[in-house]
Structure 1
């Protein structure tokens, strides 16, 4: 294992997490509602349009994912395509400096491009782990990258908060200029901290070359093949359906929380500061949930986190003040990382022992398709009722159904099926 290359790989997570925190979760949703979509008739419509933008972006990403996976596996050009998609995300982030009042269509378009760059790049970034790290050390290195992403994204988010709230420190005329500078900082941060990976890690050609159409055929045929195979593992299939529901609820809260807070009247400082809290609270509590799972069992640990999410969306319906948003941010930070880590761990014990990569690839693609539903439901309920409060409350259904389906999964039986059934 080349430590310099591995360190460069880890730093890419530090680099692109800037997009996840500033553009997806914190600053951009506030800007979209308060500036880009400010000419719409009301803030609730802006919230719904943002939800629709999220759904469109995830739909495109879901369609592209199996194609990109096939390219990563068969072309050998992982770094080349990682650079291409990274530059797309970087350029989209930088172009937000040109988005002004009423430019919500342009903002939505740029966000979709940025999401394609961010998520598409991750398909090749993840695939590089197998090339750079031996199997027995991949869990540790992968976790290290995840931790670096938390820290890097959090550090830049704090800097962005200062740019917006203390714009005079940076010689800027107002907070809008600070917001535009924040978008530019995402592009610079992502680009600069990606350079070690692009310079140190080189592609190794596999000798296999296909057209885009052939890659698409390979990618989708693999997904169809896995879907047919997965039905032979009943407990895994039940768990997967449960996962689609509760994971969609979690991802929708992540993407919609800030713009929802904007609609109900919270100021940008409170919203961004709350996201910073979530970012750093998540680090120790993710580790704590691992301990809870060891003590009480994975299923009980997941029940606890999902039950807390039900309370979060119910409380979010009644939320009116900044301190309440802070409180919810802390609670979300307590369960967000833990729930996702435990859910992934359970899945790993249910997949066939001889085909883990195939089934985790299917999880990645299928969860992206399912993630379209949450923001769409949030938006439709908001538009139909004229209240995004009902949209946030509707997310409780995703968690309740997920918990109900999870209760029907026999983990011991599923683990046995994974070991004994081979196709």
Structure 2
């Protein structure tokens, strides 16, 4: 009887865990549409056009009296949003750990981002300042929400399930992004049939991403549950102090594992390049190559589909050649892809699709394998702590790429020079990663060294 009771309780626990996991997947389904439709495809070219409409005769806008080339405004806004996110994340993280109530904080972040995205429907005429403000709010809110979302993973999945659960969430996100892009493409291409202007179609696409985000965020908020506050003492510290002191303590602990820190630095450099390509590629295609919005949407769709196939392929290659060598190979591919992008002829969508295919094949693999390799370098028992610093540090570095892109364009007036400047992130990242002895790093972290790594 006792054995039957234990089995029943175990089955109930497993069923409850599966229910939470299915709810958890849906947050990626909810918010990935923002990343794909808004940040990657529509907002960059559209906000740039709005800024250009407000520009003076020399092509400059003047937010708060500061002269900014209209073509750089979107990149600068992305950089500012990242800075805001990095300042806010430790505060929210400390509150979540202290109270154990992640779900209300996740709801607040998600619906702040969804509301700001929906309000992008108002971006007509020369309202570039409103566009920049909404971008900063939405992007920062998404970063905070993703930090909270990721922190649920150790709670809803035991170690042996985490890779599969994380991968399914990632796949849900790409599926949602692809589905919504198809709908967006139909609206954008057929805007005259629907009786709306091209600008109105773009604004509807932007707002629809916010509505999608808000509606589907209900699923994880209904299914996820809070576990209560951590049993660890906070030493009487609260709020801001706890958040930043915990981050500082984690970074100090990382100094005891310099090879882990060395890998993290390499990742932050080349991932900054990856994130900048994702956010600025549509601006490059629209403004420098003169490609239509439908072409850009089609290219992003191609990237979405091939990113899944690329990740699976890179995973197989990693089993044969090791994760480090495979990542190094993807960085070479990224460098060659950007170099090819510099020479792309204007008005040639076929070659842009070839470039998009190259990006798609290396995108998912380089990011998925980087996270997998980092997990081997984390000391046992400190997984959540190290991955929290990983997320914050990632956001903290990812303003450099957009800033370099924007500055290069401001100084040269050429998007080709701006896109080729990003090669530096992949070259430096390659050099830094190549110098990390990963086998010794894994051993020094106290983990078993896999046969192939």
RMSD over aligned Cα, in angstroms? Answer: 2.0
Q: Does 1:416 align with 2:416?
A: no
Aligned to 2:65: none
Which 5+ residue runs of structure 1 have no aligned equivalent? none
- Distance in 2 between the 1:342 and 1:188 partners? 32
Aligned to 1:20: 35
Structure 1 residue 47: deviation in Å?
3.1
Structure 1 residue 257: deviation in Å?
0.7
Aligned to 1:334: 361
Decide which moves more: 174-183 or 334-343: 174-183
Structure 1 residue 202: deviation in Å?
4.1
For residues 37-87 of structure 1, the C-alpha deviation after alignment (integer angstroms, 9 at most, x for no partner) is 433354993331111111100111112122222222221221111111111
Aligned to 1:390: 417
Aligned to 2:351: 324
1:83–1:132 distance in 2 versus 1, CA, 3 Å: same
Q: Does 1:311 align with 2:326?
A: no
Which 5+ residue runs of structure 2 have no aligned equivalent? 1-13, 61-67, 448-453
TM-score, normalised by the number of residues in structure 1: 0.93
Aligned to 1:78: 102
Q: Contact conserved, 2:48 with 2:73, CA < 8 A, in 1?
A: no
For residues 374-395 of structure 1, the C-alpha deviation after alignment (integer angstroms, 9 at most, x for no partner) is 1111111111122121111111
Q: Give the 3-state SS of the residue equivalent to 1:409 in structure 2.
A: coil
TM-score, normalised by the number of residues in structure 2: 0.87
- Distance in 1 between the 2:443 and 2:226 partners? 39
Structure 1 residue 134: deviation in Å?
3.2
Q: Contact conserved, 2:147 with 2:391, CA < 8 A, in 1?
A: no
The structure with the greater share of residues assigned to helix is 1
Decide which moves more: 146-155 or 188-197: 188-197
Aligned to 2:125: 101
Which of 192, 198, 203 does residue 221 from structure 2 map onto? 198
Q: Contact conserved, 1:82 with 1:124, CA < 8 A, in 2?
A: yes
Q: Does 1:178 align with 2:205?
A: no
- Distance in 1 between the 2:145 and 2:171 partners? 19
Decide which moves more: 357-366 or 278-287: 357-366
For residues 340-399 of structure 1, the C-alpha deviation after alignment (integer angstroms, 9 at most, x for no partner) is 111112211122223222211111111111111111111111111221211111111111
Superposed, 1:182-331 pairs within 5 Å as 182-206=205-229, 214-264=238-288, 265-319=290-344, 320=346, 321-331=348-358
Q: Give the 3-state SS of the residue equivalent to 2:446 in structure 1.
A: helix
Q: Give the 3-state SS of the residue equivalent to 1:173 in structure 2.
A: coil
Q: Does 1:122 align with 2:156?
A: no
- Distance in 2 between the 1:130 and 1:353 partners? 13
Equivalenced residues, count: 417
Structure 1 residue 36: deviation in Å?
4.6
- Distance in 1 between the 2:227 and 2:254 partners? 32
For residues 109-137 of structure 1, the C-alpha deviation after alignment (integer angstroms, 9 at most, x for no partner) is 00111112211111222222333333332
Which of 32, 45, 53 does residue 77 from structure 2 map onto? 53
Decide which moves more: 59-68 or 246-255: 59-68
Q: Contact conserved, 2:51 with 2:71, CA < 8 A, in 1?
A: no
Q: Give the 3-state SS of the residue equivalent to 1:266 in structure 2.
A: coil
Q: Contact conserved, 1:5 with 1:132, CA < 8 A, in 2?
A: yes
Decide which moves more: 343-352 or 33-42: 33-42
Q: Which runs of 4+ in 1 moved over 6 A?
A: 207-210
